[in-house]
Amino acid sequence: MATGKLTLLPVKSVELDRTNPRIRRFLEFHQGEPTYEHLALALDVAGSGEESQGATTPEKLRNSILTNGGIMQPIIVNKQPDGRLVCIEGNTRLYIYRAFVNDNVEGDWTKIPALVHEGLSLQDVDAIRLQAHLVGPRPWDAYSKAKYLWELQHKDLMPLDRIVAFCGGNKRDVTTAIQAYADMEHYYRPICDADDFDTEKYSGFVELQSTKVKDSVLKAGFTLTDFSQWLRKGNIKGLQQVRQLPRVLSDKKARDVFVKKDIKAALDVIEKPELTAGLRGASISQLARALTEAIDSIPYAEFNRLRANPDDDAVRYINDALESLQGLVKDLSASA
């Protein structure tokens, strides 16, 4: 595949790619010529703003482009034999530029940085899409992102509002990330050896930023160094368990069990569900089948209730079961 030419293209001269998987998926269920609003729906530019792991919402992308005065990564365009310019990568960025022009947003959005190829084959187009969306650049891990944000604020002395604007996020998330990084460096790093510092524990410090969680640690007479030790030694595993700290630390008996063992044992002290003789006598295959049937037939109202109450005991028991099942499947696979 030949190297493309980097240039500035008038946004009106570049077509959105109707063979783009997201756009094509929408058009398959749409009758007639799609409007501007239809394409926005197809690209989810006007979506709910929900963010999946490792993904950037259209709203964050829009805010970042606006703050930076443009895009850092050019779109990729294929110049067809008939002269048409089709955007094969960066349709959302192109759409945002067009929206800025239509909405008279301050700035010059009439031209967009583009890497222009000529006469790419379908195989070349697929290769570009795969590299961009399936095997593209590895995103930074959460700890590295937080470290960078902390350095911007405390080393480069960049104002917080400007940091928030540049990364397209919200002030609460950025502040939480910076403080979580600071707590981890101050309390966790000193108790670790050089090769023992686990950046994956960062998520626990994010949960620690909850006023309810942090206050429960301090009110129970512990320190944030104690919290760091709990994470390091495995007294706490997973975000769900960090959220249970206020409940555990407020109960003296559970608190003692937690410090000696782990939070799972402490929660069992607080309220261990009663099992009937029938359940205790059931085989693991019977229990697994019963659990599968119960999950498949869970009422929608109950599902919504559990989703809205992540601290509910049922949610905890479900997570405990998942952890045990995953461990069993792993052991069975290893012995096969």
The string of pLDDT tens digits covering residues 185-222 is 999 999 998 778 999 999 999 999 999 999 999 999 99
Tokens 């067809």, located at residue: 80
What pLDDT shows up at residue 47? Answer: 47
Q: Return d(Cα 92, Cα 265) in angstroms, integer.
A: 49
What pLDDT shows up at residue 49? Answer: 42
What pLDDT shows up at residue 52? Answer: 42
How many Cβ atoms sit within 10 Å of the Cβ of residue 246? 18
What pLDDT shows up at residue 2? Answer: 60
What pLDDT shows up at residue 335? Answer: 67
177, 206 Cβ separation under 8 angstroms: yes
Q: Which residues of the chain have pLDDT under 70?
A: 1-2, 20-22, 24-32, 34, 36, 39-40, 44-57, 130, 133-139, 168-169, 272-274, 335-336
- Tokens, residue 25: 């998926």
- Tokens, residue 300: 């929608």
What pLDDT shows up at residue 50? Answer: 41
What pLDDT shows up at residue 3? Answer: 74
Amino acid at 332: L
Distances (CA, A) of 211 to 86, 205, 208, 248: 50, 12, 8, 16
What pLDDT shows up at residue 185? Answer: 95
Distances (CA, A) of 335 to 259, 326, 330, 331, 332: 33, 14, 9, 6, 5
226 phi and psi angles, rounded to 5 deg: -60, -45
Strand order in the sheet with 5-10: 5-10, 111-118, 75-79, 85-89, 14-16
User: Over the range 279-290, which residues count as b (16 or more CB within 10 Å of their CB) and which as e?
Assistant: eeeeeeeeeeee
What does the DSSP assignment read for 76-94?
Answer: EEEE-TTS-EEEEE-HHHH
Q: Return d(Cα 69, Cα 106) in angstroms, integer.
A: 10
Q: Return d(Cα 39, Cα 308) in angstroms, integer.
A: 33
What pLDDT shows up at residue 133? Answer: 64
What pLDDT shows up at residue 24? Answer: 65
| Closest residue by Cα to residue 60 from 50, 73, 75 | 50
114, 97 Cβ separation under 8 angstroms: no
Q: Give percent above pLDDT 70 in the chain.
A: 84
